[in-house]
Each structure stands twice: as structure tokens, then as C-alpha cells.
Chains A and B, each alone.
Chain A
Amino acid sequence: MELEKHMGGTRNRQTMTANLGAHAMRAERAPLSHVFSLLSLLLCLLCPSSGHAARIGDLVETDLAEQALRFFTFQDPAVRYALLGSMLLGITCGLLGGFIVVRKMALVGDALSHAVLPGVALGFLWNMSKDPVAIFVGAVLAGLLGAAAVHLIKHTTRLKEDTALGLVLASFFAVGICLVTMIQRLPNGNKSGIDKFLFGQAAAIGEGDVKLMLVATGLAVLMILLFYKEFLVTSFDAGFARSVGFPVQAIHYGLMLLLAFAVVIALQAVGVVLVSAMLITPAAAAYLLTDRMHRLLALAALFGLCAGALGAFLSFLRPNLPTGPLMVLAATAVFVLAFLFGPRHGVVARWWRRRSGAARIQRENTLKAVYHVLEAREFKGEGVSLRELAERRRETVEDARQQAVELRRHDFATLQQDGNAIYLTPEGWQRACAIVRNHRLWELYLTNAAHIAADHVHEDAEKIEHVLGEEVVRLIEKRLNYATHDPHGRAIPGLADLRRGEAPASPLPGATGYGRST
């Protein structure tokens, strides 16, 4: 994996991480201070200046921007906890999701998140109220039980992992559904809000919930900071981790425990059914944007935070909108943006790269053709007419003209004689020489070093001439003893040819290998 190669370089790159806005993952240097800065930031947000207003859902006559302003500046006491809780869940889910995605355990997250439902119901039954602590404990226990059941099924039966995951997911969920319907049948059960755990309702988050979420988030972040190296190594190379003495199985279960934490934190706002999306989607979006694990985690936490806040806001715009699906759609929107516009792996970027790459190859082939024309008349006379170029490439003059214009646009050539002749500029000449040199050197290399027949090497050289770098060229030249002619007996342009800077009347006497004259 690319990621693990860069583990050693983490230290040098830390300054860049700070720009990403999330504090969590600057692993090696003073991790505790970052946790504190994160927590203190949240505490500051908890104590805003003004209050006293109706909740956002009531203010239907105000416009969207004003509602957004009120919501996101924590002015509205009724939604303060909801927003805070949504942001906390986004952070935790993003962080844990990062590990889930790189470990290819996305569907384990799905199974675990469904498996907590019976725990939620039993926690609720503990004293027939939405006691955050009881529900938290119940849900974490149920999640771990689910993980253990998957493990047990996998190791004592012939069933494969996917079947085991599906079994645990659906059976635990069914038990949960039975318990939930039984709770709803109780006299005060229908008003209990237990059904809000299915699709989530950010409005239901209270002060106690936020406190618990804060503790759980802090704990999860702290664990990740303390055991960052362990999690990282076991995620990418379990064999290596085992060989240097890491308790891989224990670390796996530690991660499961944290995952259960994340699921439970998210329950109230996202709901059981869609928690897995908050784990997978922000992390997958971050995965598209970076190759470094610590940056991936920071980005995932940031995306989770944004999706959580946005989803909570949207669900307040109309009464009774479930928060979970909206958060999930917000996260999906982030993913789609990263998918399309990611700077390196994005669809648009890759399309653009491919297009510009194709255009460059086209230009270089034109330059090569111009060189061939000049070479055919032994570099006598200046400029190449479009007719000559067209005949050389077996195409129409109109095509040749288009390519000539393209060359001029990149300052590789000027057009003279009413645009009917191409005169290479010094840059154009240099580039043409370099391409022809690459081509012929590679042909010679394949013939001499790889012992491929001389009539089989052209096709390969046609492709590689555009991608050979100067360093490789230098090595090949040395390997070939600074040969002067390719297998077909034509001269390989040398450094002196390149340095002439303009089309020469004839090749320089003794113009030879690139490296020799230096």
C-alpha cells in the first residue's frame, strides 16, 4: 500500500496537516494538547452569547440564510445540543470510518450498527426512560456481542464471512424490532421516542446525551492518538505487525470496541439503520483525496463533522424530518464532490490529465514528423511545408495545418509563407530532437540489451518515447556506450544537435551521444 510507505515521513508532513483544520491526527507530537484544544473549542461553542428565541422549525417565515446563520452560530438554545451532538458524531464516525475503509471492513461496520438495536431497547427497558448511560452500555454490549457472534460463526462453521455478517445483522435487528414493538405496546411506550433510534432525530439530543457523547468522543480520539501506530500497522500489514510482536487480535477487538462507541454516539441523530453510511461515506471521500493515513483521518473527521451539521440543520427546516437520511445524503454529496473534483483521483482531473496527455503526445508526434522530414532531406533548407508534413504522415494538408497551429500555440514553431511552412523554434527543435533520441535509444536498447529483433522494436519505442525521463535516458546512454546510431542505422540526435537551437543545414560532424560532450 502507498500509505504505509510514508509512515516514516509523517513527521515532516505535520505542518501541512494543521491546515486541514482538524486537530486530531497529528499523532506523534504532543497528542494530549490537541485533544485538549479540540475539547476546549467545543466547550467554547457550548457557551454562546445570546439566547432567547423560538426554535428554528417555528420560524418558517424567515429566509434560509437567516435560519442557517442562527443554526450554525449556536444562537438557538433549542438546537444547540442537536448541532453539537451531530458534529461530535461526525468526528467520531469519520475517524473510525477511516480505519474501517482502509481495512476493507465496511460491511462489518454495517453489521455492527444494526446489531446494537436490541441493546438500545434493553437499555431503554432498564428504567423505562431514555437514560443515555443505560442505552450506551446496552448498545456497546450488543455491538460487541454481535462482533463476537460473527467471529464465532466464522470459526466454528463452514459459513463464510459475508453470510456470518448478514446473519448477525438481520437476527440481532429482528430481536431489536421485536423488543421495540413490545416497548411501544407499553402504556407510555408510544411517547417514549424509542422509534427515533431507527432513523434518528437530532432534535431529541439533550444535555445528558451531549455530555456522554463528548466523553465517548474524547475517549475514542484519545485511544486513536495513543495507539495510532498500532492501528496503522495492523491495518496495512498484519503480517509485519505480528512479526514485530503487536497483539493483532487484541488490537482488532480494540478497534471493534471503538467502532461500537462510534455507532452508539451516532445512534441518536443518525439512527441504527444508516449509521454505517456515516462510517463509510466520509472516510471513502477522504480516501479519494489523500495517500496519508493521518491526513485521511483528519479529512474524514472534517467531512463527518460537515455532513453531521448540515444534516441536522436540514432536518430542522421542516417538522418530523428524520435526521439520519439527511446526514447520509449530505455525506454522499461530499463524496460525490470528492469523486468528481478530487485533485488527483477525481474523475474530472483524470479526464483532464488524459486529455492533455493525449494532446501532448499528438504534439510530440508532429514534432517528430517534422524532424523526420528534415532528416530525409539531410537537414538542407529551412522550414517544412505543410504538404511535406502531410505526405510524411499520410494525412491531409488540413490536418497538418491544424497540428501546425497547435505547435505554434505552444511556441514550438512559427508559421511562415502564408502559414504554409513550419519553422521550428529553438524549443521546438530541442523537443523534436529529444523525442527522436528517446525513440532511437529505446530501439537500440531493446535490440542490444533485451535481444529483441530489430524489426520488432518500433511499436514499443513509439509508446515509450513520450514518457522517458532525462535520468533514464542518461542511464540508457551509458549502458549503450554512447552509441551514435540506432539499429536501423540512423543517427541518434545528440546533445550538440539539441544545443544548436535551430534547424541545422546538416548534422554536426561527430554529433554523438548526449552525455559525452559534458
Chain B
Amino acid sequence: MSPFVPDFDFQRVFIAPWARDLASFGWIALMGFFVTAACGLVGNFLVLRRMALVGDAISHSVLPGMAVAFILSQSRGTLPMFLGALVAGIVATVLIELIHKKSRVKQDAAIGIAFTSLFALGVILINLYAGKGGVDLDQECVLYGEIAFVPLEPMVVFAGQTLGPIPVVRMALVALVTALLIVLFYKELLVSSFDPALAVSLGISATVVHYALMGWLSVVVVSAFESVGAILVIAMLILPAATATFLSRRLPVMLGLTILHAALSAVLGVHLAVWLDCSSAGAMVVAGTALFCAAWVFNPTDGLLYRWFRERLKAPAVHPG
């Protein structure tokens, strides 16, 4: 039996990917960075607005739409996938509202019913129809993505320059536009997230901001879907923002920390995947979780370690002797 955990070889894990296999690992790490950065930037606002599980619901419920689009168009083209996912996302929202409003089922259960049903439908559609006609979209892709195949995708050539594999370029665009949108609408997002009443008095429509955020969230989720799957994308949405909340209380700093977290977890994740020879997307999330835990334990304002010391320092003062 081969060892379950391979020996740690510094040369193999940390040097070889950059020295020898840059062409593949570079693209994987870059893709991971763009996915995590785009998701994390949007995720900051989800966490602030206590909508973290909306990302969960959306990432699950877009599946049947993508499956139908895939079956109808027999390709994994960007446009049909986006359209299908968009329709499915709207259907999911309508279903949740319908169940919630028209019956006495509470909202959390309504979300649970709607997204699991849609996800189940998507998985069955993929099982029945995918794999026929040469293009495949299988269960594993749904669960943990195919980020490892990114370097094999055809390259985008623009104005004589080779930019990179199609998914990486697409994701980079999405991440850039996300950052741009946040810069442009920073005030609106900030005010409506922290103080909806003030937002209304300033003439910012909370509904418009909400739906715009939801819309852009689904765009990000759909573009990330192929690389990291339906469930890991939730981690990409929440982890960077949650880590950032430990380290700062100012939104601009938190957004910056999100980017840093994205870069670190992508690079560390690639190394972890090389070492353990496991799913790259999974490893990136594990690396991100490790960063989260480190921030949780060691952060200087209310980290676990700091709390522990504070308790110990306080204790003798209260009970002398």
C-alpha cells in the first residue's frame, strides 16, 4: 500500500511547481486567486448583510439551469451557461418567495427546500444527458470543480499577445469588474449595508442595491462554478471576509485583506495539493481555512489566545491567593 500522506519533499512541493511546471501551476494558482478574490470581494458584503447562506442557495440552484443550457446547446459556451444559470437563479428566488409567502413554512426551511430540489434536479439531468455527444459535465465537476484542467484550455490571443487560457481570462475580467463596481458604488454599498435607514434618507434604494448585489453574486458564482464546484464556492465567498473581520474594523482595509487572503490561499493551496496530491480547489479552501483559524487564534484584538491571556491575567486580581 502506498502511503496515504506522501513524504514532504521541499524541493518537490515548493520549488518544482515554480521552476519546472510554471506553465500549469502558474495558471492554476492565478485562476484560484481570481476566483477567491472575486468571490471574497462580493462575500464581504454578504457577511456584513448577514446573507452568507444566500451564496449557498444560489450556488446550488443555478445547477439545473446550467445543465439544461448545456444539454440544449451541447457545449460549455459562456453565454448559454450564463443564461441558463440566470434563469435558474430567478426561478429559485421566486420559489423561495412562493413557499415562504403562500404557506406557513419559515424562510430557512423554504430556502432549504428550494435549493436542494433544484440541485437534485440538476444532478439528475447531468446524469441522464451529460457525457453524450463528446462534451462532459459530470458529478465530480459539480462538487469540486476542475481547476486542474485550466491549463489545458485553449489560449486567448488578443492583439497578437497570448493572454492565457479562456477560463483564467474570463475570471480575471470578472474579478476586475467586481473590484471596479465596488470602487464605483462604494458609498451605496457601504451605507446600505450598515445603515439602511440612512441609505433611504440619502436616496439610495435598498431594493436596487440588494438585487444588484444578488445579480452580480450570481455572475461571480457561475463563473467560479466550473473551477471550484457548487459547494466550495461558498467557502470562497465567506472565508476571506470572515478572516478579514478579525484583523480590521474598517471596510477598505478588510477589502484589501480579502485580496491578500485570496492570494495566500491560492498559492498555499496549490502547494498543498502538490504535496498531498489531492483536489486543488479543495486544497485552496483548506489553506484558506488554515489562514482563518490562524487569524481567529492569534489576532491581537479579540483572538482566542489574547482572550485566554486576558482571562489568566485577570483571574488572580479577582481572587487573590
Contacts and interface: CB of A to CB of B under 8 A. Distances in A.
A binds B: yes
B85 interface: no
A187 B1 contact: yes
Interface string A145-158: 00000000100111
Contacts of B238: 163, 166-167, 170
A183 B279 CA distance: 11
B219 interface: no
Contacts of A162: 50-53
Contact of A328 (B4, B116, B140, B245): B116
B245 to A, nearest CB: 6
Most chain A beta-carbon neighbours within 10 Å: one of B103, B109, B238: B109
Interface string B80-115: 000000000000000000010011111011111100
A175 B283 CA distance: 8
A249 to B, nearest CB: 21
Contact of A125 (B4, B102, B108): B4
A156 B285 CA distance: 22
Interface in A347-397: 347
A335 B56 contact: no
B123 A199 contact: yes
Contacts of A198: 139, 143
A60 B123 CA distance: 23
A455 B102 CA distance: 37
A240 B99 CA distance: 31
Interface residues of A, number: 62
Interface in B42-78: 47, 50-53, 55-56
Instruction: For chain B, give the interface size range.
Output: 35 or more
Contact of A171 (B108, B127, B239, B245): B239
Interface stretch (A81-89, A252-260, A279-287): A279-287
B52 A166 contact: yes
B120 A329 contact: yes
B144 interface: yes
A18 to B, nearest CB: 26
Contacts of A332: 113, 116-117, 120
Contacts of A276: 112, 116
A154 to B, nearest CB: 12
B172 to A, nearest CB: 23
Contacts of B239: 167, 170-171
B104 A287 contact: yes
A107 interface: yes
Contact of A181 (B117, B279, B292): B279
A178 B284 CA distance: 10
Contacts of A178: 272, 276, 278-279, 282-283, 286
Nearest to A277: B116
Nearest to B238: A166
Interface stretch (B7-15, B175-183, B228-236): B228-236
Interface in A199-232: 199
Interface in B135-149: 139-140, 143-144
B111 to A, nearest CB: 7
A186 B117 contact: no
Contacts of B237: 166
A74 interface: no
Given A171-B286, A171-B292, A326-B124, A280 B113 contact: yes
A104 interface: yes
A170 B128 CA distance: 27
Nearest to A328: B120
Contact of A320 (B127, B234, B241, B283): B127
A35 interface: no
Given A198-B143, A276-B112, A322 B232 contact: no
Given A173-B232, A281-B113, A332-B120, A104 B108 contact: yes
Interface string B271-282: 010001111011
A166 B241 CA distance: 12
A280 B109 contact: yes
Nearest to A346: B103
A494 B281 CA distance: 80
Most chain A beta-carbon neighbours within 10 Å: one of B2, B47, B116: B116
A288 interface: yes
Contacts of A163: 47, 50, 52, 238, 241-242
A170 B106 contact: no
Most chain B beta-carbon neighbours within 10 Å: one of A109, A169, A186, A321: A169
Given A159-B47, A187-B2, A287-B104, A325 B120 contact: yes
Nearest to A283: B109
A174 B304 CA distance: 24
Contact of A107 (B4, B99, B108, B120): B108
Contacts of B119: 273-274, 325, 328
Given A162-B50, A178-B278, A178-B279, A157 B56 contact: no
A329 B123 CA distance: 11
28 contacts: A101-B106, A128-B1, A157-B246, A162-B50, A163-B52, A166-B235, A166-B237, A175-B289, A177-B143, A177-B281, A178-B272, A178-B279, A178-B282, A181-B282, A182-B5, A182-B276, A182-B278, A185-B277, A185-B278, A198-B139, A274-B119, A280-B109, A281-B116, A284-B110, A322-B139, A328-B117, A328-B119, A329-B121
Top-9 shortest CB links A-B:
A170-B235, A277-B116, A174-B285, A325-B120, A177-B282, A328-B120, A171-B289, A280-B112, A332-B117
Given A106-B106, A163-B52, 6 more contacts: A158-B302, A167-B238, A167-B242, A170-B235, A181-B278, A339-B103
